[in-house]
């Protein structure tokens, strides 16, 4: 063992296998700081002097393998030259690792991200541990950067360009079984045999896995064709001027063998251009905003086991399904079993998509219990009301719940437009009520607003945030006001879009303008997805009585055209998809007109203290509405636009 190493531990076993364990000091996760990388070079120096029969990398952290490069170091880069130096360091070191004469293996348990994945790719073999926590990804594109330490070179050689580009261009992780299936991992094993499996494989003498001949063609003579298809597919999702990194990844792989350092500085997809892009700065900002949301409820010791949801409509049923998916026992209440059955059917489809194996799906369904009489209220740790938006009905319901619930149970409302304080008047102890406001579709939307009225107990709000984190969602603390944050900024945005239609602008043209700005979906298609009856009811709550609903909205609702759920709204829907010509283009100034009411509303809500500060407002609007992440959020966009 080298006593000079602070973050790495190197030992040799009786079979002369070297075990390199990364356990970065002072952190709960392994990240690849400059110091950690320098020590890795020292470790390889020592092994050069006395080569082992094999080298196995593993983690000394329970949290996972390696979380990637040190993001804080990246944010301190002050020039393209320092960025190139950082990339050069990792590129050279991993090329050196890939060239050692003895077999190498990465034993991956838990998360393996970015530079950690690139280290694993530089090894001859990879073993993944078959646990839910094991996820492998190259998520650099989500920060506006590229996998510069060899990922763009080696991943296509290991799994083929189609699977590699999918991972690199989306940043999405894959689980252990998929890693084995696509060839990223040589073996997928349970924890109890992982060390023996690693020892056996590194000494096996097995050659590297060879790609099938068609994949080799796609990495060679057909590379230009594959790249052209990837560019076309990427252009359908993001615009080059908004998100240059995915286009840079394609070009660096296709033209420069995945070497970011080889791209001339004057080219738009060069490393220099990527690092200098405002998108990169803003996406790193979004990363830190997300980490801040994750911190809410982090230090609260609250692990609910039983959730009771009242209201088996789309929102209530999907909240119940998500809680069951995350391992909680859920009782779902509505007036009769017939009203609960559709929610259970939707849950079954969600479980089939998200879970692997019939047994896992069956166990999740067993955790979702129809409860028309509401008996689950008495045992529940968290009780969520998700009935229709009627103040009198909610008051009556909570008065009954309070009498039957455990004294320490969280009483929560999923209301989207009513004031929490008005609902709480029905309770003997109004401090118990907290808002836990999910967004539709529950499975897709990461944000959940944690609403506190003036009387809400602070600890209850913190426990609600801890509950939301256990659901793997992002809690956003907001104060009690109509629409809270997200709906209060969406309402004027949707209202302005509908006014445009009143003026004769085609719905598809309006939506095209918003998408060109960088929104993930147009406002009118979004209104159709929410439900036009819901939109008009929320508008009545959020706007002054003198503000009439847009004419087109009132006419559609009166005709029973409620959007996607009725197959007709601003669009006609077939098989759940809006029918569009696909030829609409946005006139100059339309996007600015649509976005301005959202910007104004966000600024006003920050001034009113609905959220604690501008950063949290940006986080809420990005993760709650999909507001163009490349801008860094509406408040950041306002600041940069006026600077």
Distance of alpha carbon 316 from alpha carbon 306, whole angstroms:
15
- Residue 416 designated active-site: yes
How many CB atoms are closer than 10 A to CB 574?
9
How confident is residue 582, by pLDDT bands cut at 50, 70 and 90?
confident
Query: Percentage of the chain with pLDDT > 70?
Result: 99
Q: Which residues contact 6 (CB under 8 A, 6 or more apart)?
A: 25, 35, 39
In the chain, list all ranges with CATH 3.40.50.720: 306-482
Helix intervals (H) in 454-517? 458-470, 486-502, 507-517
Average pLDDT over residues 556-570: 94
How many CB atoms are closer than 10 A to CB 288?
13
Average pLDDT over residues 151-167: 97
CATH of segment(s) 8-276: 3.90.226.10
Average pLDDT over residues 95-117: 97
In the chain, list all ranges with CATH 3.90.226.10: 8-276
Q: What is the pLDDT of residue 543?
A: 78
CB 469, CB 582: distance < 8 Å: no
Choosing from 487, 495, 525, 561, the catalytic residue is 487
Q: Strand 174-175 to strand 187-189: parallel, antiparallel, or no bridges (unpaired)?
A: unpaired
- Residue 643 designated active-site: no
Q: What is the pLDDT of residue 534?
A: 85
Choosing from 7, 111, 306, 437, the catalytic residue is 437
How confident is residue 509, by pLDDT bands cut at 50, 70 and 90?
very high
CB 123, CB 101: distance < 8 Å: no
In the chain, list all ranges with CATH 1.10.1040.50: 487-609
Angle at Cα 609 formed by Cα 75 and Cα 476, nearest 5°?
55
Quick check: 364 pLDDT over 60?
Answer: yes
Choosing from 416, 417, 452, 636, the catalytic residue is 416
Q: What is the pLDDT of residue 416?
A: 87
Average pLDDT over residues 196-208: 95
CB 169, CB 250: distance < 8 Å: yes
pTM of the model: 0.91
| 317-326, 372-381, 442-451, 572-581, range with the lowest pLDDT | 572-581
Q: Strand 577-578 to strand 573-574: parallel, antiparallel, or no bridges (unpaired)?
A: antiparallel
Q: What is the pLDDT of residue 4?
A: 80
Choosing from 140, 449, 496, 525, the catalytic residue is 449
In this predicted model, what pLDDT tens digit does every residue of 175-194 receive, in sequence order? 999 999 999 999 999 999 99
Distance of alpha carbon 474 from alpha carbon 486, whole angstroms:
13
Cis peptide before 441 (omega within 30 of 0): yes
Strand order of the β-sheet with 104-108 is: 8-12, 17-22, 54-59, 104-108, 125-129, 187-189
Quick check: 1 pLDDT over 60?
Answer: no
CB 129, CB 108: distance < 8 Å: yes
Helix intervals (H) in 236-335? 244-256, 271-276, 278-295, 314-325
CATH code matching the domain that covers 487-609, chosen among 3.40.50.170, 3.40.30.10, 1.10.1040.50, 2.160.20.10? 1.10.1040.50
Helix (H, G, I), strand (E, B) or coil at 579: coil
More confident residue, 568 or 547: 568
CATH of segment(s) 306-482: 3.40.50.720
Q: Which residues contact 89 (CB under 8 A, 6 or more apart)?
A: 34, 37
How far is C-alpha 298 from the chain's CA centre? 18
What does the mean pLDDT of the chain come to? Answer: 94
- Residue 389 designated active-site: no
CB 448, CB 436: distance < 8 Å: yes
Distance of alpha carbon 108 from alpha carbon 128, whole angstroms:
5
Q: What is the pLDDT of residue 221?
A: 92
- Residue 440 designated active-site: no
Quick check: 356 pLDDT over 80?
Answer: no
- C-alpha distance from residue 217 to each of 92, 156, 166 (Å): 27, 12, 18
Q: What is the pLDDT of residue 568?
A: 95
């Amino acid at each position: 063992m080298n006593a000079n190493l602070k973050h790495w531990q190197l030992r040799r076993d009786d079979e002369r296998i070297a075990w390199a364990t990364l356990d970065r000091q002072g952190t709960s996760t392994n990240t690849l700081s400059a110091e950690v990388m320098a020590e890795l070079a020292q470790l390889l120096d020592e092994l050069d002097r006395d080569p082992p029969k094999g080298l196995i990398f593993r983690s000394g952290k329970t949290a996972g393998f390696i979380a990637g490069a040190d993001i804080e170091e990246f944010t301190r880069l002050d020039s393209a030259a320092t960025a190139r130096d950082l990339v050069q360091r990792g590129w050279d070191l991993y090329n050196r690792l890939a060239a050692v004469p003895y077999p190498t293996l990465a034993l991956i348990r838990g998360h393996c991200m970015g530079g950690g994945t690139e280290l694993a790719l530089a090894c001859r073999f990879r073993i993944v541990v078959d646990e839910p926590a094991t996820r492998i990804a190259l998520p650099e594109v989500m920060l506006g950067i590229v996998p510069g330490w060899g990922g763009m070179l080696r991943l296509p050689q290991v799994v083929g360009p189609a699977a590699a580009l999918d991972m690199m261009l989306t940043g999405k992780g894959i689980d252990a079984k998929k890693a084995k299936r696509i060839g990223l991992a040589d073996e997928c094993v349970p924890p109890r045999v992982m060390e023996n499996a690693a020892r056996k494989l590194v000494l096996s003498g097995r050659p590297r896995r060879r790609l099938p001949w068609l994949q080799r063609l796609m990495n060679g003579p057909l590379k230009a064709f594959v790249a052209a298809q990837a560019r076309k597919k990427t252009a359908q999702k993001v615009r080059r001027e908004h998100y240059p990194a995915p286009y840079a990844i394609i070009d660096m792989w296709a033209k420069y063998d995945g070497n970011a350092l080889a791209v001339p500085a004057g080219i738009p997809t060069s490393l220099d251009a990527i690092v200098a892009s405002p998108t990169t700065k803003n996406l790193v900002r979004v990363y830190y905003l997300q980490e801040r949301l994750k911190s809410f409820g982090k230090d609260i010791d609250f692990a609910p086991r039983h959730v009771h949801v009242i209201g088996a409509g789309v929102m209530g049923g999907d909240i119940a399904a998500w809680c069951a998916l995350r391992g909680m026992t859920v009782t779902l209440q509505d007036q009769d079993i017939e009203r609960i059955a559709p929610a259970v059917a939707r849950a079954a489809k969600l479980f089939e998509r998200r879970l692997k194996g019939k047994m896992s799906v069956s166990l999740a369904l067993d955790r979702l219990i129809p409860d028309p009489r509401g008996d689950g209220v008495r045992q529940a740790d968290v009780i969520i009301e998700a009935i229709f938006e009627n103040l009198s009905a909610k008051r009556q319901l909570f008065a009954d719940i309070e009498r039957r619930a455990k004294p320490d149970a969280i009483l929560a409302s999923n209301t989207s437009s009513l004031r929490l304080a008005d609902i709480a008047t029905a309770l003997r102890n109004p401090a118990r009520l907290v808002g836990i406001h999910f967004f539709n579709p529950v499975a897709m939307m990461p944000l959940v607003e944690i609403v506190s009225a003036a009387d809400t107990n602070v600890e209850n709000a913190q426990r609600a945030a801890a509950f939301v984190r256990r659901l793997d969602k992002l809690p956003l603390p907001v104060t009690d006001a109509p629409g809270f944050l997200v709906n209060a900024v969406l309402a004027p945005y949707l209202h302005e879009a509908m006014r445009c239609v009143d003026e004769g602008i085609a719905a598809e043209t309006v939506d095209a303008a918003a998408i060109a700005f960088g929104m993930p979906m147009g406002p009118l298609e979004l209104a159709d997805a929410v439900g036009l009856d819901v939109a008009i009811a929320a508008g009545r709550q959020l706007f002054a009585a003198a503000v009439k609903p847009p004419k087109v909205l009132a006419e559609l609702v009166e005709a029973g055209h409620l959007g996607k759920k009725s197959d007709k709204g601003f669009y006609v829907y077939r098989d759940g998809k809006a029918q569009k010509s696909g030829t609409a283009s946005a006139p100059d100034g339309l996007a600015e007109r649509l976005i301005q009411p959202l910007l104004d509303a966000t600024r006003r809500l920050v001034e009113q203290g609905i959220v604690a500060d501008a950063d949290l407002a940006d986080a809420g609007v990005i993760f709650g509405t999909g507001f163009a992440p490349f801008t860094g959020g509406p408040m950041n966009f306002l600041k940069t636009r006026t600077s």
